[in-house]
Amino acid sequence: MSAPLPSRPWRSWRRLLSLIALGALPVAALADTLIVGPAPPSMTLAEALAKARDGDTIALMPGRYEGQQGVVTQQQLTIRAVTERPLLLAKGPLAERKAILVVHGGDVTVENLEFRGARADDANGAGIRLERGKLTVRNSLFIDNEVGILTANEESAELVVEDSEFGMAPRIEGGLHHLLYVGRIGRFSVRGSRFYTGFEGHLIKSRAKESRITYNLVYDGDDGMASYEIDLPNGGLAWVIGNIIGQGPNAQNPVMVAYGAEGNAWPRSGLYLAHNTLVGNPWPPSWFVRIFADRLPGDTDVKLVNNITLGLGLLSPFAKGEFSGNVWALRRRALNSIWTLDFGLTEASGWRGSAKPAGSGGGQSLQPSAEFKLPRGTQPLVPPAAWSPGAIQQQSQQ
């Protein structure tokens, strides 16, 4: 019997690389999971970020991570909790003096983490800072940060936020700390998320070329002192659909949704608000949507359809565009209970099933396909036999 042929390991690696190049074997098949813990001898977050390769996952054990921060340079990376949501508590200098987590590019996903207490010398300390690339954030909390998430002005960048929570802006007078601040990036979307307890700054501020704000609870609450609930200062295309938007009694500005306040920055601008429930204060009167038409191109498209406004105030005075199916009330008999965050329509409102289909705007459907669901997230929406104005279609029996 002849002797066995000697093995040639390089042939196996060559075959493996060929399969990857042909797409027969995804890079993820080679990915590793790095386990991080809150205290020695576990690997720290910074050590894991230094060690991780493209396609890896960094998994954090439950616990309180004080002063652990880092910088993402990989082209593809996932950072998530192993089980229970860990707390990343800022302590000492932030990563690059900017944020608890700084993302420098690639395709990065963050899931089920809490970011708290970020402070920086420039007063823009963030839970996460996106410099470039695509960042997807799911089921995460951003509490007591100067800014929850902050992006740079990079047109190629994209930010996706889903089922997350932003709250409790620092009480620093003159700080203008926004809960979520999106710079001049290409695309931004936030869905199924909750915003509350701002202070002087805005709850959501987006300068993006395209902004999609859908099925969120953007409600400052009794302890909030925010300025605008939603600020879209540089125009662009903005779809605001199926949100519950509310001022607190100590709001710093009567305007709830502002569009174009700082002038246009994009080749095309259009504002499309459909099926939102906007809750103002009993006094002073609210300016539910302010469109700064004098600072926007003359061909800016505006469509406000099937929105509910509650409380004293005006929807969008002096603005030109398409306005249809919008209704107003003093709210006492219109909603079930804003005190328990039940924004469904009462039968006494007379509005159930009274709306016509919202149609489209900016080339996209304005009909809701989901609803916000407490404490955060969404529930799918089966199109009803007859639409109702506002964010809630699946009404309770109250």
For the stretch 346-367, pLDDT in tens is: 999 999 999 999 999 999 999 9
Domain 30-380 matching CATH 3.20.20.70: the answer reads: no
Residue the block writes with tokens 């607190």 = 248
Record the tokens describing residue 132, joined without a space: 């470039």
pTM: 0.91
146-170 core/surface letters (b: 16 or more CB in 10 A; e: else): bbbbbbeebeebbbbbbbbbbbbbb
pLDDT class for 23, splitting at 50, 70, 90?
low
Higher pLDDT, 374 or 9: 374
Higher pLDDT, 35 or 24: 35
Q: In this model, does residue 12 exceed pLDDT 50?
A: no
Residues paired with residue 303 on neighbouring β-strands, in sequence order: 272, 322
pLDDT class for 7, splitting at 50, 70, 90?
very low
CA of 117: how far to CAs of 92, 125, 128, 276, in Å? 10, 9, 12, 32
Residue 330: the pLDDT is 84
User: Which of the 8 DSSP states describes residue 233?
Assistant: T
Residues paired with residue 305 on neighbouring β-strands, in sequence order: 274, 324
Task: Give pLDDT tens digits for 127-171.
Answer: 999 999 999 999 999 999 999 999 999 999 999 999 999 999 999
For the chain, give the mean pLDDT. 91
Task: Give pLDDT tens digits for 306-356.
Answer: 999 999 999 999 899 999 999 999 877 899 998 899 999 999 999 999 999
Record the tokens describing residue 335, joined without a space: 């909603």
pLDDT class for 3, splitting at 50, 70, 90?
very low
**Over residues 86-106, mean pLDDT:** 97
Q: In this model, does residue 10 exceed pLDDT 60?
A: no
Residue 26: the pLDDT is 55
- Single-letter amino acid, residue 311: G
Reading across the β-sheet that carries 70-72, which strands appear in turn?
Answer: 70-72, 99-103, 126-130, 147-151, 180-182, 204-206, 230-232, 255-259, 286-291, 313-314
Task: Give pLDDT tens digits for 240-279.
Answer: 999 999 998 999 999 999 999 999 999 999 999 999 999 9
CA of 55: how far to CAs of 75, 113, 214, 229, in Å? 8, 19, 30, 37
Residues paired with residue 328 on neighbouring β-strands, in sequence order: 309
